[in-house]
A and B are shown apart, each in its own frame.
Chain A
Amino acid sequence: MSSPLKPIDFEALRKPQAKPVSSPTVEPHVRPTAYRPTLTVRDWLNVALICAVVFFGCLWLFRGSDGPGPNPGPVVDVDGLHVLVLTPDDRSSLTSGQNEFANSAKIADWVEQNGGKYRRYPESQDITNEEQVWQELRQSLSSPHHLAVLKDRRLTKLEIPDGIDAGIRLLEGFK
């Protein structure tokens, strides 16, 4: 009686299965299914919308604010204290205290007594003949009602203070 089990031919397993030479390679007409996204116009619009939201959101977050309160801005490569006051042509849009700050020679005196330089210009003034530092400070102010303070090459934009005393208190912080 012979055994039903055949011995394993290990040699055969090691050899590669040889293909018949004449056997043609049949390429399927349809490739095996794989995930390949097909974006519609609507999808692209959504992507563009998201990009726009992110872009303008970043702009808003890192914008140069002219609002109240110190807001350190870009560095201007000039030493010393410089104070530029930019007034609106229509002075009625300033409070009485703001007008006093903008007009008072005492503010200019204070700045110079503390080793700084002072300028004040109305918004419609062309200052292209001025020193470069004043032009840069002017460009940093997107609207009047503000002053730009440059100290140790750090630019700060502030709303015009409501009064002379309040203004000097504010400037004391830049001494």
Chain B
Amino acid sequence: MASYKGTPIFDDSNYRQLVSQTDKHGGSFGSGFDPQAVGRYGSACPGVEYANIPRSEWKDRIEEKERKGLFPEAWFKRGNVKILNQRSWGYCWMYGVVGGMQLRYAMTGRQAPHLNPFYPAWLGKNGANRGGWGGEALGYIDKYGVPLDSVFSGQPTSRSSFDRHEVKENAKLHKVWKFTELRRDSFQALMNMWLSDNPLPVSQAFNWWGHLVYAMRPVVIGSDAFGTEIGNSWDISWGNQGRGIIAESKASAAEQICIDIVSTLAA
């Protein structure tokens, strides 16, 4: 398998193994894309368009920004961002978004909190093990918040675990205050955002994979070949410590939402 600095690259030649892994790791996001999903939950700027960056400039710009530590991935390392594990639950649509939240917290300069996405996902689905979308996840995050894993750990299914006052109060501290949706099925839109003045973590829902993850930087994988490095929610045993690269041919996402501003953490 091709790789980039030790991180496996998934493209047209090997993407099927990811699809089969989905069965093993559990759940996908919802079938049938709801175009209103994001807008319904109050996207600040749905379909926002960044200035177009010609493909001919991608390589040089990526390498320059990489050298200067401007992509979210540079903050992933220093913020000690935790790779999540959704286990057999079909809550990737929540785990991917919350993974992006953790990275966004790291980008404020502090150590990233280890959040537990199971709490808002389970409450949002009323305990059902069902797929969803990133926009839907943002709605539940706004409603319930996301608790620290140290306060609400694992994947308990008893209602009493969710009703604890301490958990509810802690969850309210961690929310997304602003997000922006990029043009769907457009790798160009993703690159435009990343090569803009304000690169952000972005959740990506792939129809071919039936899975939602978050992306942290663009990578140059050939003379005119590009990809996106993702953080998965299948624990660190997957890919390179939980991270992988999706080649351009597979990196156009049916839904891609930038995590722009997160609430501040308690001191």
A interface vs B, CB < 8 Å?
A: 91-92, 94, 96, 99-100, 103-106, 108-109, 112, 117-122, 124-132, 164
The smallest beta-carbon distance between A100 and chain B, in angstroms, is 6
B244: interface (CB < 8 Å): no
Judging by beta carbons under 8 Å apart, are B198 and A132 in contact? no
Interface residues of B in 150-180 (CB under 8 A from A): 173, 177-178
For this complex, into which size category does the number of interface residues on chain B fall?
Answer: 20 to 34
Judging by beta carbons under 8 Å apart, are A104 and B68 in contact? yes
B110: interface (CB < 8 Å): yes
CA distance A162 to B261 in the complex (A): 24
Query: Which residues of A lie under 8 Å from residue B148 when comparing CB positions?
Result: none
CA distance A104 to B77 in the complex (A): 13
Judging by beta carbons under 8 Å apart, are B70 and A100 in contact? yes
Judging by beta carbons under 8 Å apart, are A99 and B197 in contact? yes
CA distance A108 to B77 in the complex (A): 12
Judging by beta carbons under 8 Å apart, are B199 and A103 in contact? yes
B214: interface (CB < 8 Å): no
CA distance A118 to B109 in the complex (A): 5
19 inter-chain pairs at a CB distance below 8 angstroms, sorted by A residue, are A91-B198, A99-B197, A103-B197, A104-B74, A105-B77, A108-B78, A118-B109, A120-B107, A120-B108, A120-B109, A121-B108, A121-B264, A122-B261, A124-B261, A126-B264, A129-B265, A129-B267, A132-B267, A164-B68
Out of A94, A100, A130, A164, which one reaches B267, CB within 8 Å? Answer: A130
Instruction: Write the chain B residue with the least CB distance to A92.
Output: B197
Judging by beta carbons under 8 Å apart, are B199 and A125 in contact? no
The smallest beta-carbon distance between A27 and chain B, in angstroms, is 78
Given contacts A99-B197, A103-B199, contact A129 B173 (CB under 8 A): yes
CA distance A159 to B68 in the complex (A): 20
CA distance A125 to B176 in the complex (A): 11
Q: Tell me which of B109, B178, B261, B264 has the highest count of chain A C-beta atoms within 10 A of its own C-beta.
A: B109
Judging by beta carbons under 8 Å apart, are B69 and A104 in contact? yes
CA distance A81 to B119 in the complex (A): 37
Judging by beta carbons under 8 Å apart, are B197 and A119 in contact? no
B266: interface (CB < 8 Å): yes
Given contacts A94-B197, A99-B197, contact A109 B264 (CB under 8 A): no
Query: Which residues of B lie under 8 Å from residue A100 when comparing CB positions?
Result: 68, 70
